[in-house]
Amino acid sequence: MRTTTTPPGDVLSAAPSWEGGIRRAALLLARLMLAYLFFVNLFWKLPPDFGCPPDFRFTTARPDGSLNRSSGLCDWIGVEEVWSTRERKLLDGPGPIEVPIGPLARLNGAIIDNVVQPGIRVFGWVLWLTEAWVVASLFLGLLSRLGGLAALGLAIHLMIGLGGISQPFEWEWSYNQMVLLSLLMVAFAPGRFVGLDAWLRPRLAARAARGSPVGRLLLALT
């Protein structure tokens, strides 16, 4: 059976040609779908108000434990803050694996209280531009490992803040799978296939070979 000739360590191609094609197509589809997920979520928190009320009021908990909802980014940041003080577990179910995340959730809540909410007009831009970068990076296959790292950081934050909460109900595995999909982007740098990284890498490799620190760094991110 014919096999492809590939550089050492290229796990996507170190296989029969048909198998390598399936792997590449699956990785391309995963890359584009993750980009599209972030793309459709850009529009409910558009700057400059990020979908928040005019007073930038955040969602809070009522005395009976129910939520006094806000809107846009202020809503979901508030939901995360409320749930940061409520115990919950990830991978909680009939199986033997349970991961308490109380300390991480409380740390997330402290950051929201002391950094995010007071600086929402700046933080909102940082978040929106980071998500827009993920979209551009993964759609174009440009510095795709860096795009994957940004997606992974955002996905981990969402998993800690919202995964498995019951009010409003958020299916834990929607966030778990975002983390896993983003991790694949970091591991495989998928812009090397049908992406601008395929064009950039030989040029960056030449710069790296000449001892350029920037070339080495950018090569690692493509």
> Are 162 and 170 in contact, with CB atoms under 8 Å apart?
yes
Answering whether pTM is above 0.85, one says yes
Taking only the tens of pLDDT, the chain with its 222 residues reads 444 444 444 555 566 788 888 989 999 999 999 999 999 999 999 999 999 999 999 999 999 989 999 999 999 999 999 999 998 888 877 777 888 898 999 999 999 999 999 999 999 999 999 999 999 999 999 999 999 999 999 999 999 999 989 999 999 999 999 999 999 999 999 999 999 999 999 999 999 999 899 999 999 999
In a domain, 82, yes or no: yes
In a domain, 96, yes or no: yes
Structural domain boundaries enclosing 108: 17-191
Confidence (pLDDT) at 13: 55
Domains in the chain, number = 1
Q: Alpha helix locations (H) across the chain?
A: 17-40, 72-83, 102-111, 120-140, 144-162, 172-188, 196-209, 213-220
Confidence (pLDDT) at 73: 98
In a domain, 130, yes or no: yes
**Helix (H) / strand (E) containing 89:** strand 89-90
In a domain, 69, yes or no: yes
CA–CA separation, 218 vs 222, rounded Å?
A: 6
In a domain, 208, yes or no: no
In a domain, 4, yes or no: no
Residue 133, burial from CB neighbour count under 10 angstroms (0-12, 13-18, 19+): middle
| DSSP 8-state secondary structure symbol assigned to residue 53 | -
> Are 32 and 191 in contact, with CB atoms under 8 Å apart?
no
Confidence (pLDDT) at 14: 60
In a domain, 163, yes or no: yes
In a domain, 169, yes or no: yes
Confidence (pLDDT) at 1: 43
CA distances from 19 to 1, 3, 12 (A): 11, 9, 9
